[in-house]
């Protein structure tokens, strides 16, 4: 667990008002719990200093196509009901519901730490993903600019980068990503699980609309930055019928690559997701949960590697075949970036660079 201390408090009533009724499941790691006896008060977003001594996180999951990630933030005001990162707040002694959406931890010195770690002889210029946990372009990044500072380090040393985001704020840094891509591989992955804004707002209340995210793809393409669309997660009974439309719209916007995965819920995330369905899609909740179970051999969740993000059964087979057919018809191609930088220059002392 990182040591933390309060950094500042931001007034974001317009963001938090809509999350007022979000459930905050009890933390399974705590022996005691507190419940409100009256209506839960509106919470303002609070930022806390994350005093971690490293910023590069190594991934050892065979289900993810990357090894290293940088996570400037913990917690996310995008408030996606299905976000697997919610449970990470429980290791900080907080909840996976309201706490995850309103109590954010920021790594103020992330860029400095990244430069130090890339200066080590053990670092060989492998691809770095922003982020493996929460969105690097959630609203708070507009003022703190921690993600941008880290990308400037990657530009300085010519390190390949992948961005995974739902945030339109990434448009601010397209100039920087273009410069990095002139020397090293860059991939921008824009997550668009829903085609229709109303459905998206029910599950991803703090995220820019699907239309706005398609515009992000269009803008990035104008900067000659390779873009992939991620239809992740697919929620059977809710957005699986939108797969073809998303692929076609993203391709028209300029996306060259595409990927998809089945929704994966575990622990408290499942509780938050079910409540969101009950509040926003009460007439469809039962069918959605039934279809999700049907895609996992009757199980509500799957925790095994290689199976956690994939489905089984007739319905999932139909979804997968549809994805592949539209993928081929629209002219998408596989992405295969280099495993390590070809022009990486290790940062030296006093800000100077030297060859690997």
CA distance 152 to 150: 5
Q: Which residue has the tokens 């996570």?
A: 71
CA distance 198 to 203: 9
Residue 321: CB atoms within 10 Å = 10
Model confidence pLDDT, tens digit, residues 301-328: 655 544 556 788 888 999 999 999 999 9
Model confidence pLDDT, tens digit, residues 245-294: 999 999 999 999 999 999 989 889 999 999 999 999 999 999 999 999 99
* Per-residue pLDDT at 167: 96
**How much is the average pLDDT of 198-220?**
96
Residue 37: CB atoms within 10 Å = 5
Joined tokens for residue 285: 């909740």
Say yes or no to pLDDT of 107 above 70: yes
Q: Is the peptide bond before 131 cis (omega within 30 degrees of 0)?
A: yes
Closest CA to 29 of 89, 91, 88, 84: 91
What would be the CATH architecture of the domain defined by 13-25+43-335? Alpha-Beta Barrel (3.20)
Give the angle subtended at the CA of 301 by the CAs of 21 and 207, to the nearest 5°. 40
Confidence of residue 11 (pLDDT cuts 50, 70, 90): very low
Model confidence pLDDT, tens digit, residues 119-129: 999 999 999 99
Cβ atoms of 205 and 194 within 8 Å: the answer is: no
Joined tokens for residue 63: 């289900």
**How much is the average pLDDT of 196-212?**
95
Q: Which residue has the higher pLDDT, 329 or 355?
A: 329
Q: Is 219 helix (H, G, I), strand (E, B) or coil?
A: helix
* Per-residue pLDDT at 21: 36
Residue 75: CB atoms within 10 Å = 29
**How much is the average pLDDT of 73-88?**
94
CA distance 157 to 354: 9
* Per-residue pLDDT at 312: 84
Say yes or no to pLDDT of 8 above 50: no
Say yes or no to pLDDT of 7 above 80: no
Give the pairing type, strands 128-130 and 68-70.
parallel
Joined tokens for residue 300: 């509500």
Cβ atoms of 84 and 56 within 8 Å: the answer is: no
Q: Which residue has the higher pLDDT, 65 or 252?
A: 252
pTM: 0.84
Indicate the range of 19-28, 175-184, 291-300 predicted with least confidence.
19-28
* Per-residue pLDDT at 96: 94
Q: Which residue has the tokens 């992000």?
A: 216
* Residues pairing with 69 in the sheet: 57, 129
* Per-residue pLDDT at 330: 98
Say yes or no to pLDDT of 347 above 50: yes
* Per-residue pLDDT at 67: 85
* Per-residue pLDDT at 14: 35
**How much is the average pLDDT of 336-342?**
71
Say yes or no to pLDDT of 84 above 70: yes
**How much is the average pLDDT of 94-100?**
93
Cβ atoms of 257 and 230 within 8 Å: the answer is: no
Joined tokens for residue 17: 């008002």
Q: Give alpha helix (H) positions in the chain.
A: 13-16, 98-102, 110-118, 141-144, 146-157, 174-181, 197-203, 210-222, 243-253, 268-280, 285-294, 313-329
Name the burial class of residue 116, with classes exposed (0-12), middle (13-18) and buried (19+) by CB atoms within 10 angstroms of its CB: middle
* Per-residue pLDDT at 52: 87
**How much is the average pLDDT of 61-66?**
60
* Per-residue pLDDT at 166: 97
In angstroms, the first-to-last Cα distance of the chain is 33
Closest CA to 299 of 266, 346, 344: 266
CA distance 186 to 160: 6
What is the side-by-side order of every strand in the sheet holding 257-262? 56-58, 68-70, 128-130, 161-165, 186-191, 227-234, 257-262
Model confidence pLDDT, tens digit, residues 154-167: 999 999 999 999 99
């Amino acid at each position: 667990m990182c040591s933390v201390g309060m950094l500042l408090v931001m007034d974001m009533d317009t963001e938090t008002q809509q999350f007022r009724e979000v459930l905050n499941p009890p933390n399974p790691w705590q022996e005691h719990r507190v419940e409100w006896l009256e209506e839960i008060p509106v919470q303002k977003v609070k930022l806390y200093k994350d005093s971690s001594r490293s910023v590069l996180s190594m991934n050892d999951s065979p289900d993810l196509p990357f090894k290293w990630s940088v996570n400037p933030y913990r917690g996310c005001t995008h408030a996606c009901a299905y976000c697997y990162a919610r449970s990470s707040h429980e290791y900080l002694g907080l909840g996976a519901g309201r706490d995850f959406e309103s109590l954010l931890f920021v790594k103020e010195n992330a860029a400095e730490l990244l430069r130090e770690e890339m200066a080590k002889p053990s670092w060989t210029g492998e691809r770095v993903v922003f982020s493996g946990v929460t969105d690097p372009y959630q609203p708070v990044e507009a003022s703190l600019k921690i993600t941008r500072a880290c990308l400037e380090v990657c530009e300085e040393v010519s390190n390949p980068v992948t961005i995974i985001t739902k945030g339109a704020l990434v448009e601010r840094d397209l100039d920087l990503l273009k410069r990095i891509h002139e020397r090293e591989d860059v991939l921008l992955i824009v997550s668009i699980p829903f085609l229709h804004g109303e459905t998206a707002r029910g599950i991803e209340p703090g995220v820019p609309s699907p239309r706005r995210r398609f515009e992000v793809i269009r803008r990035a393409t104008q900067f000659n930055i390779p873009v992939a669309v991620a239809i992740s997660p697919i929620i059977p009974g809710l957005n699986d019928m939108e797969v073809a439309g998303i692929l076609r719209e993203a391709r028209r916007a300029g996306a060259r690559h595409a990927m998809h995965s089945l929704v994966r819920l575990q622990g408290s995330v499942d509780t938050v997701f079910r409540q969101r369905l009950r509040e926003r899609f009460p007439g469809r909740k039962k069918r959605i949960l039934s279809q999700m179970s049907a895609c996992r051999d009757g199980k509500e969740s799957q925790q095994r590697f290689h199976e956690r993000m994939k489905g089984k059964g007739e319905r999932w087979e139909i979804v997968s075949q549809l994805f592949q057919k539209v993928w081929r018809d629209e002219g998408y191609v596989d992405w295969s970036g280099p495993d390590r930088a070809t022009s990486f220059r290790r940062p030296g002392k006093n800000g100077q660079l030297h060859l690997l």
